[in-house]
């Protein structure tokens, strides 16, 4: 039994305690359970939205990418800021619409806007599959963090089982209130740790931030230059565009908007969110500090850069604190994903597909049964595999961004997009993604003589542009067709 | 309204000009140019959004006042 293990266990136990206590004094209807009765003020809404945005990917990925790739990683700091500018207008519009129609799930929004069960089913299927892969990512990250930071005394599989059960228990009992109360602790802790590590580690190993970069410039100058090939400037710029447009299309982030008490809360939040991103800059500094001090990490292992450097630099109890913080970083988004998957299953699959006359109470019961079942299925795929299904789930998560044209068209004052166009656009985007992922088609194989600035564009953005073009073309064609059919009737 | 959209365009111009500028000026304030630049624009984005929120809140307050004035 080492000190780190004790600290991590304490973190897990407190998370469970906090999550369960969050239930106190609340009668949980579906609306209360899933979106907190739409009564959350600025702080809690902020923490939930931040909880979604700053997951294990930020914790391990931001530092790991900097460690292995250098400059291109900085896109992670840019896209959020641009997304918040869009969000300033978009989020209040989504919130008002959701409030008027008592929407609870991600798919509800699209089904209602396009007045189509088909669209609802399409979005729910994509969303549930995508959430499987998103939860797998959180659980895998969590397994890595806990096993590394407990010096191997808790194997990843045990960590995944224990934390999945913890989440399922407190989420079934408390719903969104469980995530919210843990998010408070997690955010304070992760912010303090990132700032501390980002300042202390460069100071300790190099004598300062400036000195660190001077040293890296001598040994690994490529980490301080934008590459000319591969992840180059066009990749960087196109990835910022793609990720900022798709920022709000994660089901659990989208529904975090529903919990707000009023639209003002959301506008105030997007003003604060860019400042919170400073956290990512400190994680970049940790990644750079690891560049010359942590050796031998390659491929997917580079995600371990931060953890290895912490282990190398601090006493076990502090390693435990970082491990505990990493655990909470996975628990908050992980539990939000579970909650959203189960409300989607209950509202959009069970009620729309099988029981159209089910009462709110029955739907709520189904949601609370679906949550542990969904968790069990995801843990199974995380640990045992099922490669085809996992590939499908990852593919679904890349499809989420393909909902951008549908979402954008839903804000137009004069309705433009149609459900046929929605299907067509998403289909076209999906075909492009399939060609890229499984047929090895790239922009450079299609246009061998095009300049690299063009061929390095992120393929996800290409899929999105094809999708948008098809969406607009079909909608416009249907509109002119309808106008033509309507005219003779009027003239007669 | 136009002022608000002009303000909202600023973070996009800022973030997108960073990559091209970095090719000419690799280091800024002792850090890689793009890191310092993105941090400056991160603060800039918050400032821009705060200003837009201020303008909106003021406009809404004035609207509410003129409406209650009209009712009287």
pLDDT tens across A433-469, in order? 888 877 777 777 777 777 777 778 788 888 889 988 9
Task: Give CA–CA dist A138/A55, Å, rounded.
Answer: 7
The overall longest dimension of chain B from CA atoms, in Å, is 63
Question: Is residue A81 within 8 angstroms of chain B, CB to CB?
Answer: yes
Of the candidates B22, B43, B49, the beta carbon closest to that of A84 is on B49
pLDDT at A492: 43
Question: Is residue A226 within 8 angstroms of chain B, CB to CB?
Answer: yes
Is residue B70 scored above 70 in pLDDT?
A: no
Contact residues on chain A for B21, CB-CB shorter than 8 A: none
pLDDT tens digits along A71-89: 888 888 888 888 899 888 8
* Chain B residue closest in CA terms to A236: B19
Pairwise CB contact (< 8 Å): A225 & B45: no
pLDDT tier for residue A420 given thresholds of 50, 70 and 90: confident
pLDDT tier for residue A280 given thresholds of 50, 70 and 90: confident
Q: What ipTM does this complex have?
A: 0.85
Give kind and range of the element (H or E) at residue A292: none
Is residue A291 scored above 50 in pLDDT?
A: yes
Q: What is the pTM of this model?
A: 0.83
Distance from CA of B32 to the nearest CA of A (A): 6
Q: Are A61 and A55 in contact (CB under 8 A)?
A: no
Is residue A130 scored above 80 in pLDDT?
A: yes
Distance from CA of A237 to the nearest CA of B (A): 7
pLDDT tens digits along A464-484: 899 889 988 888 888 888 888
Where exactly are the structural domains of chain A? 3-390, 412-492
Task: Give CA–CA dist A246/A400, Å, rounded.
Answer: 8
Pairwise CB contact (< 8 Å): B46 & A274: yes
pLDDT tier for residue A196 given thresholds of 50, 70 and 90: very high
Q: Are A78 and A302 in contact (CB under 8 A)?
A: no
Instruction: Quote the strand ranges of A351-467, DSSP E.
Output: none
Cα angle value A153/A379/A119 (rounded, 5°): 150
Question: Is residue B1 within 8 angstroms of chain A, CB to CB?
Answer: no
Task: Give CA–CA dist A400/A244, Å, rounded.
Answer: 13
Question: Is residue A220 within 8 angstroms of chain B, CB to CB?
Answer: no
Query: Above pLDDT 70, what percent of chain A?
Result: 94
According to DSSP, the residues that pair with B32 across neighbouring strands are B27
pLDDT at A491: 46
Q: How far is CA A347 from CA A168, A258, A367, in A?
A: 19, 16, 8
Q: The tokens of A222 are what?
A: 């490529």
Q: The tokens of B50 are what?
A: 């705060």
* Chain A residue closest in CA terms to B12: A82
Concatenated DSSP letters for B2-40? HHHHHHHHHHHHHHHHHHHHHTT--EETTEEHHHHHHHH
Give mean pLDDT, residues B9-27: 80
CA A20 to chain centre: 24
A419 closest CA partner among A124, A101, A111: A111
Pairwise CB contact (< 8 Å): A85 & B23: no
CA torsion sign for A446, A449, A453, A456 is: positive
- Dihedral through CA A353, CA A359, CA A365, CA A367, nearest 10? 40
* Chain A residue closest in CA terms to B46: A271
A339 closest CA partner among A84, A100, A143, A134: A134
Task: Give CA–CA dist A387/A161, Å, rounded.
Answer: 20
Give mean pLDDT, residues A88-94: 88
A45 closest CA partner among A233, A318, A260, A264: A260
CATH architecture of the domain with residue range A3-390: Up-down Bundle (1.20)
Query: Above pLDDT 90, what percent of chain A?
Result: 2
Q: Are A16 and A170 in contact (CB under 8 A)?
A: yes
Question: Is residue B23 within 8 angstroms of chain A, CB to CB?
Answer: yes
Where exactly are the structural domains of chain B? 1-37
Contact residues on chain B for A210, CB-CB shorter than 8 A: 30-31
Contact residues on chain A for B34, CB-CB shorter than 8 A: 71, 74, 226
pLDDT tier for residue A177 given thresholds of 50, 70 and 90: confident
């Amino acid at each position: 039994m080492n000190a780190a293990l004790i600290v991590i266990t304490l973190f897990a136990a407190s998370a469970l305690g906090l999550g369960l206590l969050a239930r106190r004094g609340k009668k949980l209807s579906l609306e209360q359970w899933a979106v907190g009765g739409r009564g959350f003020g600025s702080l809690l809404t902020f923490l939930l939205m931040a909880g979604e945005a700053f997951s294990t990917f930020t914790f391990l990925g931001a530092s790991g990418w900097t460690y292995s790739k250098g400059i291109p990683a900085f896109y992670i700091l840019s896209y959020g800021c641009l997304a918040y500018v869009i969000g300033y207008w978009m989020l209040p519009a989504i919130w008002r619409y959701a409030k008027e129609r008592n929407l609870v799930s991600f798919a509800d929004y699209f089904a209602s806007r396009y007045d189509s069960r088909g669209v609802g089913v399409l979005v729910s299927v994509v969303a549930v599959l995508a959430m499987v892969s998103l939860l797998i990512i959180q659980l895998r990250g969590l397994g890595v963090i806990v096993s590394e930071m407990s010096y191997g005394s808790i194997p990843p599989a045990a960590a995944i089982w224990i934390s999945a059960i913890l989440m399922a228990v407190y989420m079934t009992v408390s719903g969104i209130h469980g995530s919210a109360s843990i998010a408070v602790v997690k955010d304070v802790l992760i912010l303090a740790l990132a700032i501390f590590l980002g300042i202390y580690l460069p100071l300790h190993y190099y004598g300062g931030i400036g000195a660190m970069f001077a040293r890296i410039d001598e040994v690994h100058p490529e980490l301080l230059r934008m590459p000319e090939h591969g992840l180059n400037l066009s990749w960087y710029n196109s990835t910022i565009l793609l990720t900022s447009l798709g920022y709000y299309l994660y089901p659990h982030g989208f529904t975090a908007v529903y919990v707000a008490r009023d639209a003002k809360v959301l506008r105030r939040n997007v003003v604060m969110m860019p400042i919170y991103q400073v956290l990512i800059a400190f994680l970049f500094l940790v990644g750079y500090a690891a560049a010359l001090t942590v050796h031998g990490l390659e491929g997917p292992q580079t995600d371990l850069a931060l953890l290895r450097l912490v282990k190398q630099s601090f006493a076990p109890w502090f390693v435990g604190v970082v491990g505990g913080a990493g655990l909470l970083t996975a628990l908050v988004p992980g539990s939000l994903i579970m909650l959203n998957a189960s409300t989607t299953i209950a509202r959009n699959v069970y009620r729309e597909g099988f029981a159209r006359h089910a009462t709110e109470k029955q739907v709520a019961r189904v949601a609370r049964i679906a949550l542990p079942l969904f968790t069990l299925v995801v843990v199974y795929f995380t640990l045992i595999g099922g490669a085809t299904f996992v590939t499908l789930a990852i593919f679904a998560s890349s499809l989420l961004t393909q909902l951008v044209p549908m979402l954008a068209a839903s804000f137009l004052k004069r309705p433009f997009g149609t459900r046929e166009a929605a299907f067509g656009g998403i289909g076209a985007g999906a075909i492009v993604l399939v060609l890229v992922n499984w047929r090895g088609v790239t922009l450079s194989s299609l246009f061998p003589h095009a300049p690299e600035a063009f061929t390095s564009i992120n393929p996800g953005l290409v899929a999105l542009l094809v999708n948008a073009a098809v969406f607009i073309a079909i909608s416009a064609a249907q509109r002119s067709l309808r106008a033509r059919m309507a005219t003779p009737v009027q003239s007669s | 309204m136009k002022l608000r959209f002009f303000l909202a365009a600023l973070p996009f111009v800022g973030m997108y000009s960073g990559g091209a500028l970095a090719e000419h000026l690799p280091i800024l304030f002792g850090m890689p140019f793009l890191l310092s630049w993105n941090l400056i624009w991160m603060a800039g984005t918050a400032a821009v959004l705060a200003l837009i929120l201020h303008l909106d809140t003021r406009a809404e307050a004035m609207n509410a006042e003129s409406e209650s004035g009209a009712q009287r």
